[in-house]
Amino acid sequence: MSILEDARALAESGPVCDACLGRAFAERSFGLTNAERGKSLRVAAALDDDEPYEAVDTEDCWVCEGACAEFDDWAERCAEAIEDVEVETYQVGTRAPPLVEENELLLREGAGLPEDAGELFKSEFNREVGKRVGRLTGTEVDFTRPDVQFLLDIEADTVEAQLNSAFVYGRYRKLARDIPQTEWPCRECDGSGYKGKEPCDYCGGSGYLYEDSVEGFVAPVVTDVMDGVDAKFHGAGREDVDALMLGTGRPFVVEIMEPRRRTIDVEQLEGDINAMADGEIEVEGLRLATYDMVERVKKLDASKEYRAAVEFDDDVTDGELQAALDELTGATIEQYTPHRVDHRRASITRTRHVYDATGDLEDARHATVEIHGEGGLYIKELISGDEGRTNPSLAGILDTGAVVTALDVIAVEGEDEPFEDDEFFKD
């Protein structure tokens, strides 16, 4: 059959609007709306048959039941849903009424066309409403991860506007010990602050094992500035609670859920966070980031540099220390899950590499050592040996007990490339 014969067969099923008629031929030609295709076919058929042209009111269409006349109304409702929200990109999704989907199948079946001929009703609805939303709001469509996703439920007559998260990248320095990276709920009261009806003795009723955290200093400020409802803190690994994080700091991303503001002054934000932290932590290099930066921060292979104050059980000479550090430089280390983390880590042997090991003896029982190693290398155990679970170790090579009395992380950098790649930023 010719395209005009197919169009006639569709039109003979009853009043079919131009959009529903043209939708069956959506793959034919370009630069036309389905309504324009449908009207053109109706006009061409009338000319070919030398019959009067008869238009069909969209409201009378038995297929879409008039829905294709409502593109403007739905777009205006979408715009109203975000009139007080700052977004740059959007996407529209449509939940089509089951009856309309069934009518589409019946329309094509009755005309002898494949059930997947053209495109679906919801696809046209997404596109036509989407175009209008873009014009009304001055935003651009994004089919990957837009700032806002609209869900139009035609049957329920509702518009749902889902605001996707915004992301702020930066680096933090932790300048005081006994501050965890993220909030640490009390294990005795599960973060409630109560045991039964009484305040929890273990956490003093706070619900947390530590009063402050890097997350606690950073996330609430970003949430407030971006007018979000909640936040998640994502770090490129984490240092021990009793360790400092110095140097250029540790990369992190704060994810803000349902933000109503996305364009912010990151320099002002940086200053606000640092003022609130009052010397406990510092952040720098804040930038608006993409969703993909979360995975980059969490999964990019990174090396770490540490400075450790070490105490020995027996006297050690400078020559012995230097020889031991030379032996560790370039060594492959096998570490069975350390005692101190075996309650939260799988019991396996991990292989890690030491890139460089240097140090200075302060006296016969004390030294400061610096270790540059592969990410995931447990430094305290590299020093102590962890009762033989780490091999080789500084203690094992020196054949004396050794313990880290203070630990500082002084660098966290990508193994093969920097964390800061412009591809992952929005500014």
Q: What is the pLDDT of residue 209?
A: 75
List residues bridging with 349 in a β-sheet. 336
Distances, alpha carbon 353 to alpha carbons 309, 328, 334, 378, 419, in Å: 21, 9, 9, 11, 21
Phi, psi dihedral angles at 72 (to 5 degrees): -65, -45
* pTM for the predicted model, two decimal places: 0.88
Residues of the chain with CATH 3.30.2300.10: 3-163
Q: Where are the alpha helices (DSSP H) in 82-213?
A: 98-110, 121-137
- Spatial separation of the C-alpha atoms in residues 161 and 81, rounded to whole Å: 7
Q: What is the pLDDT of residues 255-294, one digit of tens each?
A: 999 999 999 999 999 999 999 999 999 999 999 999 999 9
The correct CATH number of 302-414 out of 1.10.375.10, 3.40.50.300, 1.10.20.140, 3.30.70.3190 is: 3.30.70.3190
**What is the DSSP secondary structure assignment for residue 43, as one 8-state letter?**
H
pLDDT band at residue 343 under the 50/70/90 scheme: low
Flag the least confident range among 7-16, 200-209, 244-253, 262-271: 200-209
Enter the CATH code of domain 3-163.
Answer: 3.30.2300.10
- Spatial separation of the C-alpha atoms in residues 352 and 357, rounded to whole Å: 14
| Mean local confidence (pLDDT), 89-106 | 96
What CATH class is the domain 167-299?
Answer: alpha beta
Residues of the chain with CATH 3.30.70.2510: 167-299
Q: What is the pLDDT of residue 344?
A: 64
Catalytic residue among 6, 18, 147, 240: 240
Closest CA to 33 of 61, 138, 102, 25: 25
| Mean local confidence (pLDDT), 119-145 | 96
CB–CB of 367/360 below 8 Å? yes
CB–CB of 290/167 below 8 Å? yes
CB–CB of 353/373 below 8 Å? yes
Q: What is the pLDDT of residue 184?
A: 75
Residues of the chain with CATH 3.30.70.3190: 302-414
**Rounded to the nearest 10 degrees, what angle do helices 266-277 and 214-225 cross at?**
140
Q: Which residues contact 98 (CB under 8 A, 6 or more apart)?
A: 155
Active site residue 116: no
pLDDT at residue 380 tops 70: yes
On the question of a cis peptide bond just before residue 52, with omega within 30 degrees of 0, the verdict is no
Q: What is the pLDDT of residues 174-215, one digit of tens each?
A: 999 999 998 877 777 877 777 877 788 776 777 777 789 999
Residue 306 marked ligand-binding? yes
